[in-house]
Structure 1
Amino acid sequence: MRTLLLLLLFCHVSSPVRHSLKFVLTGSTGFPNFPDFMAAVLVDDILVGYCDTNKKIVEPKQDWVKTLLEADPEHAEMFTQQCVERTSVYFRITIDNLKRQYNQSEGVHILQRVNGCEWDDETGEIIGFNQYGYDGEDFISYDLKTETWIAPKHQAFITKQRWDAEKYRIKENENYLTVIFPEWLKKYLDYGRSSLLKTELPSVSLLQKTPSSPVSCLATGFYPHRASLVWRKDGEELHEEVDRREILPNHDGTFQMSVDLNLSSVTPEDWTRYDCVFQLSGVNEEIITKLEKDRIRTNWEEPSKVTILIIVIVVLIAVVLIATMEFTKLKKVNMALKKRKGCKRTEQEAAPNHI
């Protein structure tokens, strides 16, 4: 009996999941009719809240966030003040300082900060992060282990020296990254449990346009989007001859992804050595789809003998028509040349003799 899908639909076993809380803050100058500061809150990479200096209010992006803010109005007020007043002003001042530090003039400049934490729900491990980027490049980041700032560019060294010397900033960072953010993350996971912690397994299909095209393994309908889809040969993951596509959202809130396998150098006898493997974060089971010819879906149909004969006849008719048109065109050209030569002879005979 062939093994098509190794999938336990009625016995999901939860596995440890690393949850995350991210604050993506962006300040900018030089963009007309555009907010000079924006902030987005993501839990497990899902947008849950947004604000900017134009709207001046925190917008919940999930139903459970509305419930949380109604139950904890102080939390909502704190976010509003941070977005509209404190952090936006801090970003504007920092951009001005960086322009002087980089010896830059007015124009378009962007400062971005991504901070937050990751939490392993089994081991309790917490990893905090706080990093800045300026004009599309890494600028400075905080290292919790050494309790110092890391400057990848020499322009950031002045900032590193100043921030390393500010002990209150060090303590504040540690408190947020290791205490406050993890507490918020656990609180958000508790309120959003029904949506954040739910899992939906996908349907997996093998698709191919033509017999010479790559075989695409498509997984659609899964949730959350933290998932992997790979091709394996003899149980080993393949990194060559494969083309991975990005995860895309479906209209119903689930996600889809695909990975192509090039079989141009694979003999049909070796197909059974390949399988497509889907793994969803938080679920132990893998969905394994064997590469078998009768499992591949395609719209391509091999032309029948009648179809081939019709194509040959059409091509022959086209060739005859083109040849006839070219012959007619050439005949007209020859006639025109003959007529022109006759006219020249008549003109020469009629012309007077000159001494």
Structure 2
Amino acid sequence: MDKILQILLLSLPTVAPNGSHSLWVLATYIKGQTPFPEFSYVSMLDDVRVLYYNGETKTLIPRGNTTTEDTVFDSNQLITISDYIQASFINKWAVATNNLNKTDGVLAFQRLVLCELRDSGEPGQMITRDAFRGSTTDELRYFDKKFTYHGTLNVTAQVLKIHLDFSMWRHENLYQPFCIKTLKGYLEKRKNQVNRKVKPRVRLIQKANADSGGSWVSCLATGFYPRHINLTLFRDGQPVSDHEITGGDLLPNGDGTYQMRKNLEISAEEQREKHKYTCSTTHLSLDNKLDISLEYDHGKPFKSVIPSFLTVMALVLVFGTVAAVWRKRHKSSSKSEYSSPSMKPRVRLMQKSSTDSGGSRVSCLATGFYPCRINLTLLRDVQPVSDHKITEGDLLPMMTGRNLLFFSGSHSLWVVATYIKGQTPFPEFSYVLMLDDVRVLYYNGETKTLIPRGNTTTEDTVFDSNILISISDNMHAASMRKLAIIDNLNKTDGVLAIQGLCLCELRDSGEPGQMITRNGFRGSTTDELRYLDKKFTYHGTLNVTAQVLKIHLDFSMWRHENVYQPFCIKTLKGYLEKRKNQVNRKVKPRVRLIQKANADSGGSWVTCLATGFYPRHINLTLFRDGQPVSDHEITGGDLLPNGDGTYQMRKSLEISAEEQREKHKYTCSTTHLSLDNKLDISLEYDHGKPFTSVIPSVLTVVALVLVFGTLAAVWRKRHKSSIKSEYSSPSTSEESVDTAS
């Protein structure tokens, strides 16, 4: 692997000028099942490998160091940058697979990132170059605060602009400053290694060419360091033209030095002319130019190659066998170590009346289960109900906490997203898009498909699907980075899931309100970012350094201000235009104030219930003798959905036996957008004997039980008698007949 990386390094154009130093990264992202990390890279100082990064284990492994290099860079910051690079690979993979019609199998992407330090100590150019299937897809250069871009990605101008804006911000504010600082640190630690000078051994050789009857003249320089060298072939004192020369590639030796060979083919006729050939070499290790005269060898030119070839073949067989054994064991251990936590579902079957049809709606609800595979089937008289009669059925994530944010009178567009790491039958990344509380879209991150929900007309003009998929890829990448931080701290095995809520608000005035991004893991909010009136507030519990947090926040704030909020508000306005009848409808609440006995305390419960209302914003207040009851005395108050798309809310007050004797007056007051005036409901309650109204009902039920019980007993007795009277024995019947005769 190391040899291959070194050859790849040398096959790239040398972008750093002679005398300067450079730090560069050769990264690989693999999509598909392989025994290697999905993401990894080698970091190099000039041509000296200094670091290897494994994206699967999030480990940084030094290479070739003789002293500690912990002070060269902040490891947390470098891992964060590594996550950004991996995330950008995910975006590139999305574009590539989209262009290749969902290519199956293993796909690999490569990236070269290079920053240069001039001899003056000033930063030089920075280059990021991506490749896929052997071809460069795009290249971004940053030099003297100017960017140039060349690319072949088949994306729209809008999507490309988002990509470039992200990339340029990262290069200017994050990548280049960190790269230059790290480069200087490595130069201080490795100066003896990268500044050493080793003289080349140079030979000029002539060998017979059996095909043409002429010969080959080869100029070979080997064993030199650093890699920059000038090797020139002269014929009778004049440089041989480049188009006559073959070779000239810079190749590595096993000891960290380099070699270069240039060849000239000489015809039989030219050979008879007895030209003078010279190989001229200049190198940093040489005080003067080195000229070598021709050495001619008619022997067997390839005899010395045979032992080396046999050695290489033997090594290939040995390492191939070891790799095959390791891969087999690795797969076995992976399967045995995998475990998945589970949580039982809470299942309810509910029936609600439907005011529109006069019938009812039966809903089967399963919630709180994990993993996410579940079979939920409605049966009618033991037979499964046909799919075309069933509505809903979407798998939705649970958001932790009750304090989801809704704003009375305003409208909001929000995303509830789930990122899953581990083996499951569901997409790694997916989300539901909602207008207020109406689902309008489902996104499958595996197939890159946007699936409308509940639309009665086409909604293609609401948003640019290419831009939304690009933003979705960035959300996917951000979720991956967040989970990487969490998993890096916990090293959790099995399936992991992180949830995200992203919400933008449109005020009644038509101006953007606040935008909120909240992430949750294992039932707790990890962090929350709010953006309102061009000001950001952040609250988080992530255990990261201040430097890493600053990088994360700077990037997140830039994205919210320049990409996410503008797109979200535009999409929200588009959906409001298409779904205005659906989200602006008003349904009045049905309100009741109920008192029930509390057997435990000898007192009672007073409950104010409002149900069947839409939209969801409602004010429900309990009054005692004209004064609002304090919040700390109230239980309930949660907004709950009904099966027909409306809502309900219940607030309860516990009344002690002593307070009950005081005969207070209780009132439930309701305000809602569907009501012209405040609705006040008084308690249906007799203060003298609070539960006498129950007695007639109880007596009636008891009487009915007695009547029906008596009737059942009589019927049963008569039914038994009739069975006995109708029974007869054949033998007895025959005897009676004979006697009569």
| TM, length-normalised to structure 2 | 0.34
2:459 counterpart SS class: helix
User: In the aligned structure 2, how far is the partner of 1:257 from the partner of 1:172?
Assistant: 37
1:152 is matched with which residue? 541
Q: Distance in 1 between matches of 2:450 and 2:621?
A: 39
Q: Distance in 1 between matches of 2:574 and 2:615?
A: 19
Q: Return the alpha-carbon distance in structure 2 between the equivalents of residues 148 and 259 of structure 1.
A: 33
Q: Which of 51, 57, 66 is equivalent to 2:443?
A: 51
Of 111, 118, 138, which aligns to 2:505?
A: 118
Question: Which residue of structure 2 aligns with residue 291 of structure 1?
Answer: 683
Distance in 2 separating the partners of 1:120 and 1:161: 30
Aligned equivalents of 1:152 and 1:98: distance in 2? 10
Who wins on radius of gyration, i.e. which is larger?
Answer: 2
Q: CA contact under 8 A between 2:591 and 2:681: conserved in structure 1? A: yes
**1:156–1:61 CA distance, 2 compared to 1 (3 A):** farther
Q: How does 1:1-355 map to 2 (within 5 A)?
A: 17-30=409-422, 32-53=424-445, 56-63=448-455, 67-69=458-460, 71-72=461-462, 75-80=464-469, 82-83=471-472, 85-92=473-480, 94-100=482-488, 102=489, 104-122=491-509, 124=511, 126-144=513-531, 147=536, 150-155=539-544, 157-166=546-555, 169-176=556-563, 178-210=565-597, 212-233=603-624, 234-244=626-636, 246-264=638-656, 265-267=658-660, 270-272=663-665, 274-281=666-673, 285-293=677-685, 300-301=694-695
Task: Please tell me the residue identity of whatever aligns with 1:183.
Answer: K
What TM-score do the two structures reach when normalised by structure 1?
0.66
Change (3 A) 1:87 1:118: closer
Per-residue deviation at 1:120? 2.1
Q: Distance in 1 between matches of 2:412 and 2:564?
A: 12
Cα separation, 2, equivalents of 1:243 and 1:188: 36
- The answer on whether the counterparts of 1:21 and 1:43 sit within 8 Å (CA) in structure 2 is yes
Partners of 1:255 and 1:148 in 2: CA distance? 32
Partner Cα distance (2:469, 2:686) in 1:
57
Equivalent pair of 1:210/1:298 in contact (CA under 8 Å): no
**Matched letter for residue 476 of structure 2:** S
Structure 2 residue identity aligned to 1:263 = I
Paired with 1:254 and 1:125, the residues of 2 have a C-alpha distance of 27
CA distance in 2 between partners of 1:52 and 1:257 (Å): 33
**8 A Cα contact 2:594 2:684, kept in partner:** no
> Does the residue aligned with 1:191 lie in a helix, a strand or coil?
helix
The offset of 1:192, in angstroms, is 1.3
Q: Distance in 2 between matches of 1:183 and 1:258?
A: 36
Question: CA, structure 1 residues 173+208, in 2 after alignment: closer, same or farther (shift >3 Å)?
Answer: same
| Kept in 2: contact 1:206–1:297 (CA 8 A) | no
1:285-311 deviation per Cα after TM superposition (whole angstroms, max 9, x unaligned): 32211224279999833566xx79xx9
1:242 Cα offset (Å) = 2.9
Q: 1:260 to 1:298 in 2, by over 3 A?
A: farther
User: Which amino acid is the alignment partner of residue 664 of structure 2?
Assistant: W
Structure 1 residue 98 displacement after superposition:
4.2
Query: Which letter does structure 1 place at the counterpart of 2:630?
Result: L
Contact 1:151 1:160 in 2 (8 A): no
Q: Deviations over 1:250-277 (max 9, x none)?
A: 33322222222323343466432x2112
- Give the whole-Å Cα distance in 1 for the aligned partners of 2:639 and 2:418: 24
Distance 1:254 1:121 in 2: 22
Letter in 2 for 1:49: L
| Distance change in 2, residues 1:210/1:99 (3 Å) | closer
Deviations for 1:214-266, whole angstroms, at most 9, x for unmatched residues? 13222222111222323122232432443225333333322222222323343
Task: Give aligned pairs, total.
Answer: 286
Gaps spanning 5+ residues in structure 2: where? 1-406, 707-741
Superposed CA deviations along residues 104-140 of structure 1, whole A, max 9, x for unmatched, are 2433322233222223204846112223334443333
1:42 offset after TM fit, Å? 2.0
| One-letter amino acid of the counterpart of residue 214, structure 1 | W
Please, which moves more after superposition, 148-157 or 227-236? 148-157
Structure 1 counterpart SS, 2:424? coil
Q: 1:36/1:213 Cα in 2 relative to 1: closer, same or farther (>3 Å)?
A: same
**Bigger helix share:** 1
Shift of 1:93: 5.0
Secondary structure, aligned partner of 2:694: coil
Aligned-pair RMSD on alpha carbons?
3.8
Structure 1 alignment gaps of length 5 or more = 1-14, 312-355
Contact 1:142 1:149 in 2 (8 A): yes
Gap change, CA 1:134 and 1:205, over 3 Å in 2 = closer
Contact 1:29 1:36 in 2 (8 A): yes
Contact 1:149-1:160 within 8 A present in 2 as well: no
Seen in structure 2, the aligned counterparts of structure 1 residues 141 and 259 have a Cα distance that, compared at 3 Å, is closer
Conservation of the 8 A alpha-carbon contact between 1:248 and 1:255: yes
Higher relative contact order (CA closer than 8 Å, sequence separation 6+): 1
The structure-2 alpha-carbon separation of the partners of 1:16 and 1:138, relative to structure 1 and needing over 3 Å to count, comes to: closer
The structure-2 alpha-carbon separation of the partners of 1:103 and 1:245, relative to structure 1 and needing over 3 Å to count, comes to: closer
Instruction: Name the residue aligned to 2:390.
Output: none
**Higher strand fraction (1 or 2):** 2
- Partner Cα separation in structure 1 for residue 481 and residue 408 of structure 2: 42
